[in-house]
Amino acid sequence: MTTVLQPAPAPAGRSLDDFLGAYRRISRAFYDATLSDAELDRWRARQLTTVLRHVTERSPFYRCHLAGVDIDRVTPGDLTALPFTTKDDLRREMHDVLSGPVSEASVYYETNGTTGAATPCPRGPKDVATSNAAVEEAWRRLFATHFGDRMPVVGLMGPSELYAFGDVFTAVTASLGACHVKIWPESPRVGFRKALRLIEELGVEVVVCAPALCLSLAKAALHYGYDLGRLPVKLFLVLGEICTPEFAANVSTVWPRAVVRPALYGSQEALCIATGADSGRLHLSVPNYLAEVVDPATGEVLGDTGEGELVLTMLVDGIKPLIRYRTGDLVRITPAPPGSSLPGPVVDVVGRVADRIALGHARLYPGQLESAVLEDVRGCLGYQVVVDRAADGSDDITVRMDLLHRAADPDATVAAVARRLRELTGARVRVEADTDLDPITHTGSFVSWKAARVHDLRTVPDPAAEAARQVAHRYAITT
């Protein structure tokens, strides 16, 4: 247990170079495991005060939102004097949330706006440097584990326009001295056929993508006549949606030479919250955030560990620091196990709070449902859960699974999945092998995991499901 110190006075007029110098010392000591609890407490207390002064002076929204709060008395150990910031606040206030004009930023991004107004997410020099530092450190360790002292060719499979994906990973690969190629299959200038050709020709060993794309890429490779065992991919670094251990294990049975590891957990608004280790676990970027776990229904603070909705206070006084931001993500935070390859608490992402779904007598989060479907499953190229109302008013669940011909005992697989879901939900369940799944399953995190994976016929489609349906054609593997 660390001792929470009183905030030290925030230095006035500190230059960018001074800040980055101080940050790099703290970050280096944190990742080298030489940062003492007292030093970390002093850093977090000082940065909290700095950020609170920064937002109340420069953000029109926070000047009103935090009015009446004695910000100099707020400590990292007790943030309850500060009100929450919500996604509705960001959508309503838009540019007034920013702590400075966009002209002071280095780059401008937005959220994708699929289920609400796209909100501005510019990043300044401090934001870019501090967020990327955590990714770079994680990747350096992952690459050393899998490739020794050489650097692999990295394929980046994600959007770049108005989105941080391309810029972040371009900068990180450049800093590490690795070659990268931008080959997002959903781009009309690329497509799956060209992406696969480049993977083979360039010897791409690392693919950075959303989890669903691991399977879409495999299905496309089989469609175009590739042998998955001969393609050079050895490491999938995934982000953008939940990736359960069961999903990762299944991908390794589809791609015989590859393993799946988390790249990071983050968002356009909150940047890089946690980075992935070779253990398959995500570790909080401690120098950059104060994390709280709250009851998603009441907002009651449950502590800085445990299970609940993740609330973040950002510790970098950049262009858009957020204070007690309710992410809408259900997480489980636990201390890092002894010997972890990365420091910082472990963050397990269970799913979006809004994506909880009632099935039979159970209410399941995405991670729970996916684990039940994919436990011990081999050779699955995709799945979709369809839920309908039976004549007697009970739930009728159909799971459609695209299984490789070489999958071990598909009949036993189908029976085991049905049995697990019956025991979990008490509902009627049937499982079908189906090689022609609804294309919406390939949209993955573009809208939401639930919109891609669960087709709920009991209710009218919600905005997320409608948005996913509208873009599903872009994810067809044969275009």
| CB-count exposure of residue 3 (10 Å: 0-12, 13-18, 19+) | exposed
CA–CA gap between residue 326 and residue 391 (Å, rounded): 40
* Residue 444 pLDDT exceeds 80: no
Question: Tokens in use for 111?
Answer: 């959220």
Q: How many CB atoms lie within 10 A of CB 359?
A: 22
Q: Which tens digit of pLDDT belongs to each residue from 334-386?
A: 999 999 999 999 999 988 888 888 999 999 988 899 999 999 999 999 999 99
What is the pTM (predicted TM-score) of this model?
A: 0.91
226 closest CA partner among 236, 218, 235, 214 = 218
Residue 14: band (very low, low, confident or very high) from pLDDT cuts 50, 70, 90: low
What is the bridge-based pairing of β-strands 395-403 and 380-389?
antiparallel
Q: What is the pLDDT of residue 473?
A: 60
- Of 14-18, 48-52, 251-255, the poorest mean pLDDT is in 14-18
The residues near 164 (Cβ < 8 Å, ≥ 6 apart) are 107, 109, 121, 123, 268, 271
Average pLDDT over residues 385-401: 92
Domains by residue range for the chain, with CATH:
16-122+266-353 (3.40.50.12780), 128-262 (3.40.50.12780), 356-475 (3.30.300.30)
- Distance (Å, rounded) from C-alpha 197 to C-alpha 10? 54
